Amino acid sequence: MVGAIERCVVLGELLEARSPLTGAQLARRLRADEPSVQAALSALERYGQVRRLLPLDGSAAVFVFESQREREFVRCPGCGSVRAVDEHPLQLLRARLRERLGQELSFSRYVFAADCARCARDDLENPGARPGRS
Ligand SMILES: [Zn+2]
């Protein structure tokens, strides 16, 4: 059982980070054991205070404060950074999918994968440095 103090500490760190974090990242930042942090995150999720987001590249789930739930996020597979994105670029994708499928799709529980500017530049300068990239 995770206590209220542990939940508050985890929630406070997530708010202070101002970006989605994995349980492992939160544990490192708090210098706490990861199972306790994961238990606190699960409890916070049940109480509706945090939302678990699933990266589409299959990497570890990240957590955001519930007020960020309508925002959408992109994770860089190169460095693992996750950032919120303006939803406008995704509106075009949504509109095209709505035309094709006749359904409105929501991406608020998933994290897109795309190289950040720094990793894209590194790939151009050092082609082949990252496995699976050319
Ligand atoms: Zn990157």
pTM higher than 0.85, yes or no?
Answer: no
**Cβ atoms of 107 and 98 closer than 8 Å:** no
> In this predicted model, what pLDDT tens digit does every residue of 39-76 receive, in sequence order?
999 999 999 999 999 988 888 999 988 876 567 888 89
**Cβ atoms of 110 and 55 closer than 8 Å:** yes
Q: Which two tokens stand for residue 6?
A: 């542990």
Q: Please report, for the chain, the start and end positions of each structural domain, with discontinuous segments joined by +.
A: 4-125
- CB neighbours (10 Å) of residue 40? 27
Confidence label for 132 from pLDDT (cuts 50, 70 and 90): low
CA of 28 to the centre of ligand 1 (A): 20
118 pLDDT above the threshold of 80: yes
Q: What is the CATH code for 4-125?
A: 1.10.10.10
- Protein residues within 5 Å, CB atom, of ion ligand 1: 76, 78-79, 116, 119
